[in-house]
Amino acid sequence: MSDPLRVAVVGLGYWGPNLLRNLVDLDDAEVVTMCDPREHRLDHWGRRYPAIERTPSYMDVLSDDRVDAVVIATPVSTHFQLAAQALRFGKHTFVEKPLAASSEEAEELVGLARRAGRVLMPGHTFLYSPPVVLVKEMIDRGDLGEIYFVSSSRVNLGLHQADVSVVWDLGPHDFAILRYWLGESPESVSALSRACVIPGTPDVAFVNMRYASGTIAQIELAWLAPSKLRRTAIVGSERMVVYDDTSGEPVRVFDSGATLPDPASFGEYQLSYRTGDIVSPRVEPVEPIYRQMEDFCRAVRERVEPRSSAQLGLEVVETIEAVDRSLQANGSPARCRRGSPADAGMPV
Amino acid sequence: MSDPLRVAVVGLGYWGPNLLRNLVDLDDAEVVTMCDPREHRLDHWGRRYPAIERTPSYMDVLSDDRVDAVVIATPVSTHFQLAAQALRFGKHTFVEKPLAASSEEAEELVGLARRAGRVLMPGHTFLYSPPVVLVKEMIDRGDLGEIYFVSSSRVNLGLHQADVSVVWDLGPHDFAILRYWLGESPESVSALSRACVIPGTPDVAFVNMRYASGTIAQIELAWLAPSKLRRTAIVGSERMVVYDDTSGEPVRVFDSGATLPDPASFGEYQLSYRTGDIVSPRVEPVEPIYRQMEDFCRAVRERVEPRSSAQLGLEVVETIEAVDRSLQANGSPARCRRGSPADAGMPV
Amino acid sequence: MSDPLRVAVVGLGYWGPNLLRNLVDLDDAEVVTMCDPREHRLDHWGRRYPAIERTPSYMDVLSDDRVDAVVIATPVSTHFQLAAQALRFGKHTFVEKPLAASSEEAEELVGLARRAGRVLMPGHTFLYSPPVVLVKEMIDRGDLGEIYFVSSSRVNLGLHQADVSVVWDLGPHDFAILRYWLGESPESVSALSRACVIPGTPDVAFVNMRYASGTIAQIELAWLAPSKLRRTAIVGSERMVVYDDTSGEPVRVFDSGATLPDPASFGEYQLSYRTGDIVSPRVEPVEPIYRQMEDFCRAVRERVEPRSSAQLGLEVVETIEAVDRSLQANGSPARCRRGSPADAGMPV
Amino acid sequence: MSDPLRVAVVGLGYWGPNLLRNLVDLDDAEVVTMCDPREHRLDHWGRRYPAIERTPSYMDVLSDDRVDAVVIATPVSTHFQLAAQALRFGKHTFVEKPLAASSEEAEELVGLARRAGRVLMPGHTFLYSPPVVLVKEMIDRGDLGEIYFVSSSRVNLGLHQADVSVVWDLGPHDFAILRYWLGESPESVSALSRACVIPGTPDVAFVNMRYASGTIAQIELAWLAPSKLRRTAIVGSERMVVYDDTSGEPVRVFDSGATLPDPASFGEYQLSYRTGDIVSPRVEPVEPIYRQMEDFCRAVRERVEPRSSAQLGLEVVETIEAVDRSLQANGSPARCRRGSPADAGMPV
């Protein structure tokens, strides 16, 4: 094996330490330094990992030649500036999701990465979750047939954030998962939301999405809900799957469907329904963050695109923006402008 | 007690016999005759209920002076004509849901009933289901506080009907329940659908609804789904309720919510969340159809509006039509024109 | 096909009408007469089935040469006398479970049937329940490997019967199912019970059972329980199965087990555990009573033993008696004396 | 507040580090030293907690005057010797469950603690689990009425231990919980077990228990089971409770029961059943181990008996031994000799 990737972790708030812990466990990576402007965070995590250097100065990190890559886990509003600087200093760059606070920013990052020949990877961790990967493999094998529709609920009595809507907070999970599964982003979205508790901050949103392939999707996002619910149903012509992150059986496959015996003569009640076994495939208990950071290291080393690619991250931001536009237009459908494939954010 | 209401049951297909059976059990009603143009249906149900007269001719029913009321369970396309004739003959009229095949027809029926001074009642049976009533009582008592949003799924691997979309087939259930609970119909709806199996017949639809009160709702309707799911979450400022028709505990009340301690000073993570007990209230095991026909008899006898009123039935049809208009407009929101309260379909 | 079996149904209480209804639906059988000493029961069911003759006299039934078989659904205390008379009159005889009120009675019936060359069949309906049959097929195919143990709970907030303990009321279900699955009756049982509500009538019982093959079983029987629970786990060396009568997925197969890699060297934590997919096989929705009466007809026609054989019915009564003996001996194990195979109750 | 209790943690295998972590978090305690004969364990945990001294020598711990108390988490076979020495050196002593490998050993420890005037506490952690405490409070308030019976399953596809049976491994949990809830140990037990995988090491056991109060209980313990199941039903005359450790709603209270309207005249089907609401009380999410170590500190400081008392620990060992005796006697009931209350293991 080659030398490990030398990494700096930037941002030691809620999520950064999770990335830090997994990078420490990874043979492929060596955490050289950690960076946070807040001294008490540096002190706290420095005691936990005494062998790792600490600095409150991001410029120290960027000017450190030992550092191959930066891993950024800071507030969304700072993503663009920190990532852009890192890329300009020639660092491979991992940024927490969403990739940036606007598609303009995201596109500029994608362009910077391409020109710099560096990996830019957003942290869509769910793409490394074993049940999500298992569903992807089933779709790619054709087990589900044509994907008719997807219905997803991601709700909980969770934390409100005064400055971010539930669409920006929870939406990236579903938008990224669907982009990964379906291999396409929606053509258009239509949305309805409400700010129930904090005026101006939507805490519930209903999003309808239409894809070029014909697939349609419905997504419910809510911070205020009677019980934790993360349930995604994917209904295909051959099989149907329910994915539930919170269940002991996170993937359940229903061998059932409806078939039209003779298109020429169908009438009322003439369909043939098929219902068969239900299978809960065994899912490997691996930590998604670990797999994600492993993929980042592999992308750098082998010069390949990570599964959670910059292009995917850009499209997720475009989808969020389209939702916002539909909300501003009282629910009228909004088109999701797509970055052209030529813009794909991979180093050559 | 006064004399029982003398009833004719018209239509002995899938649903009519259920109405017949409950009317036979009801002391308030006496089934005088049953009517269906198909002799084999008359024979079959005549053997079951030999004391009830039979006729293939609707005109026989209408011209029979002993008949106070007709109970119509025929295809939707015939509702208007059969109900209009019955009202013109001075019969109180119960019609299976939806009330009519268009809001024009429904409005005309409402006007006919008003002018004839007769009860016109659509068969929205769910309004008589004990869990639905229990939720209504909670809302009216203020247990839930302000209703923030509703999210509902009604899906199953069910029968396709070649001539009716899933919106016309399953939608009336949810639209009627929400109208009953909230006391209002949506101002506007936005919808997305797909005809997955039979070209031209939508078998999945996602509907977003916006109410004047501020409440928003999302409804998923599908014939093609991995497992039967009938789950409606009603999220209020004080409590949240999950209603699930198919569960042994059909109503679950979550004593939880989020409160804003001080509107002047809220910031990130400053909300106070409250989570408490979960209660599954005992629900009486009574048959909704029985209660529905009981309400029809009471409405006739006491000259009061039934819970499933003609006005409610009209608004349900208006909502369905608004969904269809939104679908034709590629998901743009469509207003639900409301019959003015002055049109309310009650006899005076 | 040969002529249908001409049957008399004796006893029109709670269960008899269910047998009657299924016999009427069966092409193989023709219900000639129904018999009950209570005139109001005869009247009630006579109106429902006007083509069937009625008599309050059992002797009328037995002396009617048209009657090939009697189907007895009367209180347990009368089973022996009614069945013995029927066999002496040369009638094939179906008796509700348990076969008789004591093993002496049951053995005498078995002997009578053998000497008369007539079918004697107890009504262990669960042996015709599709999930129970599916588990039997899995066991016979070797899918489960060696059966290590069985754990069963059959509890509910149900009706107490003042004259029968929960062991006589609910026990026959589990004892018959296990006898069918395992092909053996327990060698010995040990039991603990309590009469919580009505003095002298046990309403909860815990039964431990030991089989010659090495299999052990635990059965909980209770009328007083917080929620309906019918769950039987069958743990084998290759696979494990959970059978739950009340679930939408009544059979769930767990592809998991523990294997001992090398018997010579095992130590602490050296076992290899295997966990795999969980499968809920599709189960046909057929009515067990229908299948049961079909098997009775087939047994008569083809002179074969029915699945719910007289020998099985005798062994179930012996098991119940062994439980009672253990209870009288304060929980000391009691042997289940087995009728010898030579006594098997089949006509030759 | 007084000075913190100065503690030594002895044994850094699977469980000891959990105790260590909670003691470190506790203001009431100060971990002075950790002890394990295996240098690599000392090194590993020393790096994690550099401020805590380390020694491979238990004698170092005992002769250290700064150490007020030892917390022992070593194999069961060593409990007696290590705890006895600690008490002789005047140390307050916490020992992982079970208290000792035999009731003779346990009794001797109880006597030693009493004579030394030191706290002896076994680590029955479940007694500090919030749902278990909540059920105890309900029982003590009389919410459940008279406790009719308890039925418990504790099963999983878990680790086999070559030298300990499932009764010694899993039994202490249920035996301690029931002793805590009911305030009594069983008078007699009857058991059936099987060594399915490793010859001589029972991996499934069914235990029936009879209490002086009239309560009866059934416990299933198994390492080999199709799915994790921890379900305990407590059925009382007034209410029934289901406690399920692994559920998001760990305590569910059923307001239901059967009542005998008039004892003089009851007959078949004369009971009155009451079924009411089901409530899932909110349960505080606190760590049981933390509460347990807090109670140990409090017991030392305030000279009171901890909830998990030495007497309770002794009775648990006596119950296990009774189960073993019943198994050796082929399932015949075995009496649980009880240490007299005068032997209670508390310092005065």
pLDDT at D339: 45
Mean pLDDT in order along chain A per 10 residues (348 residues): 89 94 94 96 90 96 97 96 98 97 97 97 97 97 96 79 83 97 97 92 96 98 82 93 90 78 45 76 92 97 96 98 97 79 37
Which has the higher per-residue pLDDT, B105 or A14? B105
Which chain D residue's Cα is nearest to C259? Answer: D197
Instruction: Tell me which residue in D196, D208, D330 faces C148 most closely, judged by beta carbons.
Output: D196
Residues of A near D (Cβ–Cβ under 8 Å) read 227-228, 248
Q: Kindly determine whether residue B240 and residue A225, on different chains, have CB atoms separated by under 8 Å.
A: yes
Q: Kindly determine whether residue B249 and residue D275, on different chains, have CB atoms separated by under 8 Å.
A: no
Give the residue-averaged pLDDT of B124-149: 97
Helix residue ranges per DSSP H, D32-187: 39-48, 58-62, 76-88, 103-116, 130-141, 166-182
Q: In sequence order, what DSSP letters do the residues of A138-170 get, joined into one string? A: HHHHTTT-SEEEEEEEEE-S----TTS-HHHHH
pLDDT at B155: 87
Q: Kindly determine whether residue B149 and residue A197, on different chains, have CB atoms separated by under 8 Å.
A: no
CA distance B83 to chain A (A): 24
Q: How far is CA D130 from CA A145, A206, A282, C132, D278, in A?
A: 47, 37, 32, 39, 19
Long-range contacts from A338-343, C-beta under 8 angstroms, 24+ separation: A338/A185, A339/A103, A339/A107, A339/A110, A339/A311, A339/A314, A339/A315, A341/A311, A343/A107, A343/A110, A343/A111, A343/A114, A343/A311, A343/A314
Q: Kindly determine whether residue D224 and residue C148, on different chains, have CB atoms separated by under 8 Å.
A: yes
Q: Kindly determine whether residue A157 and residue B275, on different chains, have CB atoms separated by under 8 Å.
A: yes
Distance of CA A320 to the CA centre of its chain: 12
pLDDT at A199: 86
CA distance B52 to chain C (A): 15
Q: Which residues from D are below 8 Å from B134, CB to CB?
A: none
Which chain D residue's Cα is nearest to C222? Answer: D149
pLDDT at A16: 95
Q: Are C334 and C116 in contact (CB under 8 A)?
A: no
Q: Are C171 and D279 in contact (CB under 8 A)?
A: no
pLDDT at C265: 44
CA distance A121 to chain B (A): 27
How far is it, in rounded angstroms, from Cα B67 to Cα B4? 11
CA distance A310 to chain B (A): 29
For the cut 70, the answer to whether the pLDDT of residue D162 exceeds it is no
pLDDT at B264: 45
Q: Collapsing DSSP states into helix, strand and coil, what is residue A2?
A: coil
Which chain B residue's Cα is nearest to A202? Answer: B148
Q: Which residues from D are below 8 Å from A227, CB to CB?
A: 248
Q: ipTM > 0.85?
A: yes
Task: Provide the b/e sequence for C221-242 (b: ≥16 CB within 10 Å).
Answer: bbbbbbbebbbbbbbbbebbbb
Instruction: Quote the tokens at residue C6.
Output: 């001409």
Binding partners of B (≥3 Cβ pairs within 8 A): A, C, D
Q: How confident is the model at residue B227 (pLDDT cuts 50, 70, 90)?
A: confident
CA distance A23 to chain D (A): 18
CA distance C183 to chain A (A): 27
For the cut 80, the answer to whether the pLDDT of residue D264 exceeds it is no
Instruction: Tell me which residue in A210, A226, A252 faces B240 most closely, judged by beta carbons.
Output: A226
Q: Kindly determine whether residue B282 and residue D282, on different chains, have CB atoms separated by under 8 Å.
A: no
For residue D30, the cross-strand partners are D6
How far is it, in rounded angstroms, from Cα A220 to Cα A151? 8
Q: Collapsing DSSP states into helix, strand and coil, what is residue C99?
A: coil
Which chain C residue's Cα is nearest to A249? Answer: C278
The sheet carrying C29-35 orders its strands as C53-55, C29-35, C5-10, C69-72, C92-96, C120-123
The residue count of chain C comes to 348
Q: Kindly determine whether residue A218 and residue B218, on different chains, have CB atoms separated by under 8 Å.
A: yes
Instruction: Tell me which residue in C255, C276, C280 faces A277 most closely, judged by beta carbons.
Output: C280
Q: Which residues from A are below 8 Å from D156, CB to CB?
A: none
pLDDT at B242: 94
Q: How far is CA B203 from CA A168, A191, B166, C108, in A?
A: 31, 21, 5, 62
pLDDT at C348: 31
Give the residue-averaged pLDDT of D125-132: 97
Q: What is the pLDDT of residues B37-47, one digit of tens each?
A: 999 999 999 98
Q: What is the pLDDT of residues C83-122, one digit of tens each?
A: 999 999 999 999 999 999 999 999 999 999 999 999 999 9
Q: Collapsing DSSP states into helix, strand and coil, what is residue A314?
A: helix
Per DSSP, A104 falls in state H
Which chain C residue's Cα is nearest to A281? Answer: C277
Which chain B residue's Cα is nearest to A162? Answer: B268
Which residue out of A134, A239, A254, A280 would a mutagenesis test of the C interface target, given it has the greatest number of C Cβ atoms within 10 Å? A280
Q: Which residues from B are below 8 Å from D249, CB to CB?
A: 278
Q: How far is CA C343 from CA B123, C182, C315, C338, in A?
A: 62, 20, 11, 10
Q: What is the pLDDT of residues C116-148, one digit of tens each?
A: 999 999 999 999 999 999 999 999 999 999 999
Helix residue ranges per DSSP H, chain C: 16-25, 39-48, 58-62, 76-88, 103-116, 130-141, 166-182, 288-302, 310-328
For residue D204, the cross-strand partners are D194, D222
CA distance B342 to chain C (A): 48
pLDDT at A21: 93
Binding partners of A (≥3 Cβ pairs within 8 A): B, C, D
Q: Which residues from A are below 8 Å from D248, CB to CB?
A: 227-228
CA distance C14 to chain B (A): 21
For the cut 70, the answer to whether the pLDDT of residue D131 exceeds it is yes
Q: Which residues from C are below 8 Å from A277, CB to CB?
A: 279-282
How far is it, in rounded angstroms, from Cα B106 to Cα B113? 11
Distance of CA D271 to the CA centre of its chain: 38
Q: Kindly determine whether residue B198 and residue A223, on different chains, have CB atoms separated by under 8 Å.
A: no
pTM (2 decimals)? 0.90
Per DSSP, C93 falls in state E
Q: Kindly determine whether residue C279 and residue A275, on different chains, have CB atoms separated by under 8 Å.
A: no
Binding partners of C (≥3 Cβ pairs within 8 A): A, B, D
CA distance B47 to chain C (A): 10
Per DSSP, B3 falls in state P
Q: Kindly determine whether residue C148 and residue D194, on different chains, have CB atoms separated by under 8 Å.
A: yes
Q: Which residues from B are below 8 Å from D255, CB to CB?
A: 282
